[in-house]
Amino acid sequence: MVILEVKNVSYGYSHGTPFEITALNNVSFSVEKGELVGIIGHTGSGKSTLIKMLNSLLKPESGQVLLHGKDINANKASIKEARSKVGLCFQYPEYQLFEETCAKDIAFGPKNMGLSTEEVKERVLKAAEFVGFSKELLNKSPFDLSGGQKRRCAIAGVMAMFPEVLVLDEPTAGLDPIGRFELLRMIENYRKDTGATVMIVSHSMDDIAKTADKILVMNKGTLAMCGSVQEVFSKADTLIEMGLSVPTATSLISRLRAEIPELSPDIFTVEAAAEELSVYFKGRTSK
Ligand SMILES: Nc1ncnc2c1ncn2[C@@H]1O[C@H](COP(=O)(O)OP(=O)(O)O)[C@@H](O)[C@H]1O
Ligand SMILES: [Mg+2]
């Protein structure tokens, strides 16, 4: 079932000045309920502009964004609905933490939705669980947390609104590999538990290859590709032309294929590469 549809959306900045730029040019795609969509593209390709369209933070200059088949910009009520159903988490969201305790910060969104004190409390605990926050951490000041914990606290604040579509702009930027892995697992937990649709903008091809059902590739304001991990990452040359790359595992196996042509070209994750090599070497030792 399609939950979100972006239809022929265009948008520009700084009209009427020498800095005028078309940030989105006739972009169209649809997202199925429960899908995890990865969005990749070079810096300036329009990724952040695109996701701001999804809850009417920016409005298309032409085209439409449909949520459950309805134009989110039709009227005030539809905008309000989109804001509550599509949760946007900006880049470096930890800079927006401001309350005395993490619990209060996470409660900010649900409180603004007009929920009862009881319901807000429940949601804070549930969101804390999604990001692996103990009660002790909840009572701390966000300013006493580590960088990774601050990030998780900020993301929990969006999760606490239980959005049907959770959209994250570079959630793992600046985290170490373990922090990245853990955060992606937490986002996956949110999706599994709530059945939500998740959209993640990322610079990490490895993260996208590991998690995405569908990948959108933005290039200079246009949607250059839209397809499965296999469909997108098998087009290494096109991606490289756009200043992007393929996952580390894909590039490793591709180099090894020069010597071992039997290896599959369809390897996109470290786990799949390890499996492929293990099968190959076992086959050789048994010969
Ligand atoms: N507030 C703004 N004012 C003017 N130009 C902007 C603004 N935000 C983004 N842009 C320009 O729009 C284009 C797309 O930017 P953005 O959506 O942020 O891309 P990405 O997230 O892929 O890096 C870029 O050329 C960027 O410089
Ligand atoms: Mg951006």
DSSP string, 199-243: EEE-S-HHHHHHH-SEEEEEETTEEEEEE-HHHHHT-HHHHHHTT
Q: Which ligand is nearest to the CA of 40?
A: 1
Q: Which ligand is nearest to the CA of 58?
A: 1
Per-residue pLDDT of the chain (287 residues; tens, 9 = 90+): 999 999 999 999 999 999 999 999 999 999 999 999 999 999 999 999 999 999 999 999 999 999 999 999 999 999 999 999 999 999 989 888 888 999 999 999 999 989 999 999 999 999 999 999 999 999 999 999 998 999 999 999 999 999 999 999 999 999 998 999 999 999 999 999 999 999 999 999 999 999 999 999 999 999 999 999 999 999 999 999 999 999 999 999 999 999 999 999 999 999 999 999 999 998 887 76
Q: What is the pLDDT of residue 287?
A: 65
Partnered with residue 49 across adjacent β-strands are: none
Return the residue whose CA atom lies nearest to atom 20 of ligand 1.
44
Mutate to test the pocket of ligand 1, among 49, 61, 203, 216 (most ligand atoms within 8 A of CB): 49
- 3 within 8 A of 197, measured Cβ to Cβ: yes
Ligand 1 closest atom vs CA 42: 22
Q: SS3 letters for 246-287? A: CCHHHHHHHHHCCCCCCCCCCCCCHHHHHHHHHHHHHHHHHC
Partnered with residue 262 across adjacent β-strands are: none
Return the residue whose CA atom lies nearest to atom 1 of ligand 1.
13
Q: What is the pLDDT of residue 216?
A: 98
Give the tens place of pLDDT for each residue, 200-219.
999 999 999 999 999 999 99
- 153 within 8 A of 134, measured Cβ to Cβ: no
Q: What is the pLDDT of residue 84?
A: 92
Which amino acid is it at 149? Answer: Q
- Taking the centre of ligand 1 as the mean of its atom positions, its distance from the CA of residue 44, in whole angstroms, is 5
Give the tens place of pLDDT for each residue, 12-30.
999 999 999 999 999 999 9
Pocket of ligand 1 (CB under 6 A): 13-14, 21, 23, 41, 43-49
